[in-house]
Structure 1
Amino acid sequence: MTSSATSPSAPPEWGTRLLAIVTRSHTRALALLAALALLAFVPGIASLQPFDRDEPRFAQASKQMLESGDFIDIRFQDEGRHKKPVGIYWLQTTIVSAAEHLGVDNARAQIGLYRLPSLFGAIAVVLATYWAGLVILAGNGSEMARRGAFLAGAFMAASILLGVEARLAKTDAVLTATCVVAMAVLARAYLDRDRPLSPWLIGVFWVAVGLSVLVKGPLLPLFAGLTILVLAIRDRSIRWLGVLRPWWGLLIVAIMVLPWFIAIWIKTGGAFFEESVGKDMLAKARSGQEKHWGPPGAYLLAFFGTFWPAAILTAIGVPAFWRERRVAWVAFCLAWVVPAWLLFEALPTKLPHYVLPLYPAIAILTAWALLNGDIHRNRPLARIATILIPLVPAAIAVGLSVFAYTEDGVLLYPAIPVFLLAVGIAVWSWLSFLKDKVVSSAFLGVAASIVLSVSVFGIAHTLIPSLRLSPRLADAAAALDCAEPRLATTRYREPSLIFLTRTDLVLTNGEGAADFLAAGPCRMAFVEAADGAEFQARAAALGVTPALVTRVRGFNINGGRRLDIGVYRNMPAAQGQ
């Protein structure tokens, strides 16, 4: 179906004209997508505090590799961190080591450096989505393929979830990049099966698989395997897979991954596999691990926030996807998305980033439906659903402003104009949709997302001290002007504090903090208010008088608690008597 705005008699909307201009060449399209990705992902990359708990665990483990020189085992303080393979740690340590050699001050404690693999991975996702779109939409004509591929890449650049993962020193942005690359080659093998794949493309596919296994284990093989299974059932044949040269490909993967897997087996006596498979992967399949339980349907509900602003367009386009489900390229995209999505919905552990590698296929389907005239104002509930386009940024702006005022008594004056700009562009996007200028609406939605990213990550977070507990404690620790400072903490034990201070940070209780301060010179303890009485009683019993340097008050997102932490240092001997 073609909407009135795209009928031959109507003049093309400005969004359609702009799309034609930016897709006249692949170079121009890729350059603009890279620019969009940088604008969306870079704000806050260095200034955002480490986000507890996963991100600083990854960064701290990489930091310890640099400290110890052991690049085989993965450790967090004295414990083995045997959950994910070594790939992301190698990427992080390579970048931090390079920064040290270039003279970056205190590079090992700069969280922005550890985030660079994720930033590069997220940019690669946007560019690879364009490539995948060209491959998958090729049967619709070169013009549709170029324009649909560009819109799909732009939707990924605007995705809130990818924007968050681009700023976290974790595995998911890199994993998603390897997935999009591999699935693009798989699509080429399936959709153009009569034409042999070049050795270069075959190599790209298997190297992407190998990298993904080193970064996050078997997830890409799972996504690709489910896609192949569904297509095999559909076609009653998998002969087309032969063009990927599976035996040679598996040899490439084995050469890439087996050396480290054998080394970690020897190093840990098999403990890595027992922990990662038996206690991490299978635990997530049995129950909601680490308080991340969610009911079936949780990912679908979260989708409208995590894939904003394109998620609303996706929902409107679902009938078109279903109508064309027998078309080969649509079948491929649905095989990429649906079985894996259902699997994750069935698992009790729910984390939004688990389904991120499925978003590029959704972006391609959405872009096609939009350009095909299947997404327009006259679709059922479309006029009501699209109110989410301005409501999401408005809710984020109001929520952050209320939190900042409630917790710190501050108004986010520098961020407010940018918030208003993001909401204003989003309102313009919504109104454009109501006028059936859907391509213009899509462009404006992407622009609103980028401005929102600048306002939240680039400006607002720097104005909310309550969210920066660990950085403020680390700043206090920096006042210990001695060669070998020692630090301890009581109940506040977030990994971000360990990363920003010292690997040997002592985790203790109130009495232990007093004993720690009394045990030697140049020591500091972070004592939460709940441990204060026990700490002071023990200090009095020891005959020492710890000096209160400052109190750090803030909000710990993990657990949702307000904290009041006293920062104490031991008095010099002459003053403590």
Structure 2
Amino acid sequence: MDGLVAQQRLSLRHFSVAQMAAAIERSHVRLCAVLVLLALACFLPGFTSLQPMDRDEPRYAQASKQMLETRDFVDIRFQDEARHKKPVGIYWMQSATVALGEALGVPEAHTTIALYRLPSLFGALATVLLTYWAALAFVGRRGAFLTAALMATSIILMVEARLAKTDAMLTACSVAVMGGLARAYLGRGAGILPRRTLLIFWLGFAAGILIKGPLVLMFAGTCAAVLSYKERSARWLLTLRPWLGALATLLIVLPWFIAIAIKSGGAFYSEAVGHDMLGKVGTAQSYHWAPPGFYLIAYFATFWPGAILATIAIPFAWKHRREEPVAFALAWAIPSWLIFEAVPTKLPHYVMPLYPAIGLVAVMAISRHFVGPYRPGARAATVLIPFIPVGLTVGLSAVAWSFDGTLPYRGLPFMIASSLVALYAWRMFVKDRVLNTLAAGFISSALLALGVFGFAQLDLRSLKLSPRLAEVAHNLPCENPRVATLGYREPSLVFLVGTDLEMLETGPEASSFLKQGGCRLVFVEKRFEDAFRAENDRLGQHPTLSTRVTGFNINSGRRLDIGAYSSGS
């Protein structure tokens, strides 16, 4: 009997993690299920509790909310201002998810930011699964899984999955297009592409245009141009059925582009092309200016935990640049990256659609045992793996202590655990166990998401100015109050309080607003209170100071002290 028990224990011991991984790898479905679980572990913490993040997210959400309020699904507006910057795709998706939530009985669906974030969550999940599909054109199942997992656990995709914006969905569309383009290039001469590949490619193309205009064309076009130059021929593109695909794309995207041209009298194109797109090339968007090299520096944080391993793989990419899979990955990433670096306007998420190509190069290098501690400077460089979670743990603790006089106690255990697992990942790299480094990095990333987004942000009360002000407005003892704000003009306040929130410019305007009678509330930032009180004295009115809300505005970089003044009943 003792021998039988010992034999059973031995057999269980032999059922190692490697054997479990081998069993999972035998099925695309199982691999994709693991990827979805890993992605959800990274994307879901804090998804519903994180406040609307100024300024872009509430602008998108508010415009989608106004579509539902006005039933106008052609024009895009933020309050009375036309929002002619991006096409309509993401607004339609957000409006649809909110309408569905409302139909299912979600309370206060129109101001529930999580409903507006669902397209971004779906886009982030699609990015992970499409990265797996695209990578299968280059590497085997394990390599494709690792490439997709690098995307799922990257900080930039974790952030964008939680924001009601275009970028997660745009990345999904871009990866769909690049996956189809890769199959056309790497399989040239093999005959006709499968219908599924063509469908994914052209649907990704059309959806990408409806979401963010010509960017998906730039990613695919620059890559195709470089590879066609390398091959001295562009005939390989014919397998994508360009004439039929272009016709289908036009049928999908043209109706709205024609409708908005008629509705806006051409103003959409002058604003979207003349101000938004060309403004990024010139100086109109100078408040997001950064020097060339910005993306290279930011990438070490935004593509964590895979960034440093991909950097170690750079010599591999150069050495094998003539090999077709490596050549495609480089043509995918480098031309568009250089364009983004040359454009003065820079934001970290702009290069996110290029990260799957970087992850591919890293995985190809790892699979050939090119990445390891024996590379020059690799041991020291991989200290960046624990540096990111340690830095966030220390940084968020310092912010919480500085602003609120406390520590993010609920998030600290998970952030510390993330740091320790990341330290273990570094130790595995030093021992030349790179796959273990990757696995530990994925676990560290999931723990970091839970610590930062799931819990730590809940304790940063000073950063939640708009939700706290909106709570004051919603707790007024009257129905349908008129609300205005002076000095604090963040879009999140419009989204949470209501479309008719009035934006005031001066203290006398705030006083005059209250003088009009009825149930009214005005938020007055401390800088304007002297003028506000002086005008109240002149008019002989005595509004009630309901409460004061203090905190820190990330966008302006200032501490704010806002008084909530009410009158009427």
Q: Per the shorter chain, which TM-score range?
A: over 0.9
The aligned runs of 1:85-104 (5 Å cut-off) are: 85-104=87-106
Q: Give the C-alpha shift of residue 321 in structure 1.
A: 1.0
Secondary structure of the residue that 1:97 maps to in structure 2? Answer: helix
Contact 1:15-1:443 at 8 Å conserved across structures: no
Q: Give the C-alpha shift of residue 201 in structure 1.
A: 2.1
Distance between the aligned counterparts of 1:149 and 1:227, measured in 2?
A: 20
Distance between the aligned counterparts of 1:133 and 1:427, measured in 2?
A: 28
Match of residue 157 from structure 2: 162
The aligned runs of 1:387-398 (5 Å cut-off) are: 387-398=383-394
Q: Give the C-alpha shift of residue 16 in structure 1.
A: 5.6
Residue 524 in 1 paired to residue 521 in 2? yes
- Give the counterpart of 2:434 among 434, 438, 445: 438
Match of residue 5 from structure 2: none
Contact 2:93-2:119 at 8 Å conserved across structures: yes
RMSD over aligned CA atoms reads 1.4
Match of residue 403 from structure 1: 399
- Residue type matched to 2:515 in 1? A
Secondary structure of the residue that 1:136 maps to in structure 2? Answer: coil
Distance between the aligned counterparts of 2:227 and 2:544, measured in 1?
A: 69
CA 437–17 in structure 1, closer or farther in 2 if over 3 Å, else same? farther
The aligned runs of 1:215-226 (5 Å cut-off) are: 215-226=211-222
- Give the counterpart of 2:253 among 250, 257, 265: 257
CA 94–290 in structure 1, closer or farther in 2 if over 3 Å, else same? farther
Distance between the aligned counterparts of 1:173 and 1:558, measured in 2?
A: 22
CA 461–290 in structure 1, closer or farther in 2 if over 3 Å, else same? farther
Distance between the aligned counterparts of 1:79 and 1:87, measured in 2?
A: 19
Distance between the aligned counterparts of 1:252 and 1:160, measured in 2?
A: 35
Distance between the aligned counterparts of 2:105 and 2:465, measured in 1?
A: 28
- Residue type matched to 2:274 in 1? G
Q: Give the C-alpha shift of residue 520 in structure 1.
A: 1.6
Per-residue CA distance 1:399-428 (angstroms, 9 max, x = gap): 000110110111222211111111110011
Contact 1:547-1:571 at 8 Å conserved across structures: no
Contact 2:56-2:165 at 8 Å conserved across structures: yes
Secondary structure of the residue that 2:483 maps to in structure 1? Answer: strand
- Residue type matched to 2:441 in 1? G
Residue 205 in 1 paired to residue 225 in 2? no
- Give the counterpart of 1:146 among 137, 141, 144: 141
The answer to which of 23-32 and 218-227 deviates more is: 23-32
Per-residue CA distance 1:285-319 (angstroms, 9 max, x = gap): 11371511111111001000000010000010111
Q: Give the C-alpha shift of residue 166 in structure 1.
A: 0.4
**Length, aligned pairs only:** 554
Q: Give the C-alpha shift of residue 203 in structure 1.
A: 2.4
Secondary structure of the residue that 1:228 maps to in structure 2? Answer: helix
Distance between the aligned counterparts of 1:36 and 1:198, measured in 2?
A: 29
Distance between the aligned counterparts of 2:266 and 2:173, measured in 1?
A: 27
Secondary structure of the residue that 1:50 maps to in structure 2? Answer: coil
Residue 22 in 1 paired to residue 18 in 2? no
Per-residue CA distance 1:347-381 (angstroms, 9 max, x = gap): 11111111000011111111121121011001111
The aligned runs of 1:317-466 (5 Å cut-off) are: 317-466=313-462
Distance between the aligned counterparts of 2:502 and 2:559, measured in 1?
A: 22
Match of residue 64 from structure 1: 66
Match of residue 53 from structure 1: 55
Contact 1:55-1:169 at 8 Å conserved across structures: yes
Residue 136 in 1 paired to residue 138 in 2? yes
Distance between the aligned counterparts of 2:527 and 2:19, measured in 1?
A: 63
Match of residue 482 from structure 2: 486
Match of residue 172 from structure 1: 167
Match of residue 511 from structure 1: 508
- Residue type matched to 1:128 in 2? L
- Residue type matched to 1:103 in 2? G
Q: Give the C-alpha shift of residue 19 in structure 1.
A: 4.3
Match of residue 289 from structure 2: 293
Contact 1:288-1:294 at 8 Å conserved across structures: no
Distance between the aligned counterparts of 2:284 and 2:161, measured in 1?
A: 25
- Residue type matched to 2:520 in 1? R
Distance between the aligned counterparts of 1:15 and 1:368, measured in 2?
A: 22
Residue 538 in 1 paired to residue 535 in 2? yes
Contact 2:517-2:568 at 8 Å conserved across structures: no
Residue 268 in 1 paired to residue 245 in 2? no
- Residue type matched to 1:196 in 2? I
Q: Give the C-alpha shift of residue 262 in structure 1.
A: 0.4
Match of residue 188 from structure 1: 183
Q: Give the C-alpha shift of residue 55 in structure 1.
A: 0.5
Match of residue 3 from structure 1: none
Contact 2:486-2:528 at 8 Å conserved across structures: yes
Match of residue 244 from structure 2: 248
- Residue type matched to 2:513 in 1? F
The answer to which of 181-190 and 193-202 deviates more is: 193-202
Distance between the aligned counterparts of 1:199 and 1:396, measured in 2?
A: 46
Q: Give the C-alpha shift of residue 204 in structure 1.
A: 2.1
CA 234–34 in structure 1, closer or farther in 2 if over 3 Å, else same? same
Secondary structure of the residue that 1:135 maps to in structure 2? Answer: coil
Secondary structure of the residue that 1:195 maps to in structure 2? Answer: coil
Q: TM-score, normalised by structure 1?
A: 0.94
Q: Give the C-alpha shift of residue 130 in structure 1.
A: 0.7
Per-residue CA distance 1:482-512 (angstroms, 9 max, x = gap): 3321000001000000000011111112211
The answer to which of 412-421 and 231-240 deviates more is: 412-421
Distance between the aligned counterparts of 1:288 and 1:436, measured in 2?
A: 49
Residue 283 in 1 paired to residue 279 in 2? yes
Q: Give the C-alpha shift of residue 17 in structure 1.
A: 5.5
Per-residue CA distance 1:372-402 (angstroms, 9 max, x = gap): 1011001111001100111110000110001
Contact 1:288-1:348 at 8 Å conserved across structures: no
Distance between the aligned counterparts of 1:570 and 1:477, measured in 2?
A: 12
CA 17–296 in structure 1, closer or farther in 2 if over 3 Å, else same? farther
Q: TM-score, normalised by structure 2?
A: 0.96
Distance between the aligned counterparts of 1:324 and 1:23, measured in 2?
A: 27
Contact 2:275-2:284 at 8 Å conserved across structures: no
Point out where structure 1 has 5 or more consecutive residues left out of the alignment. 1-11, 138-144, 573-577
Per-residue CA distance 1:511-541 (angstroms, 9 max, x = gap): 1111111112110000000011111111111
Distance between the aligned counterparts of 2:255 and 2:61, measured in 1?
A: 23
Secondary structure of the residue that 1:188 maps to in structure 2? Answer: helix
Per-residue CA distance 1:90-137 (angstroms, 9 max, x = gap): 000000001111111110000010000000000111111111111122
Contact 1:488-1:507 at 8 Å conserved across structures: yes
Distance between the aligned counterparts of 1:30 and 1:424, measured in 2?
A: 28
Contact 2:120-2:165 at 8 Å conserved across structures: yes
Distance between the aligned counterparts of 1:506 and 1:44, measured in 2?
A: 30
Q: Which has the higher contact order (CA 8 A, sep 6+)?
A: 1
Secondary structure of the residue that 2:162 maps to in structure 1? Answer: coil
Contact 2:155-2:302 at 8 Å conserved across structures: yes
Distance between the aligned counterparts of 1:25 and 1:419, measured in 2?
A: 33
Residue 231 in 1 paired to residue 227 in 2? yes
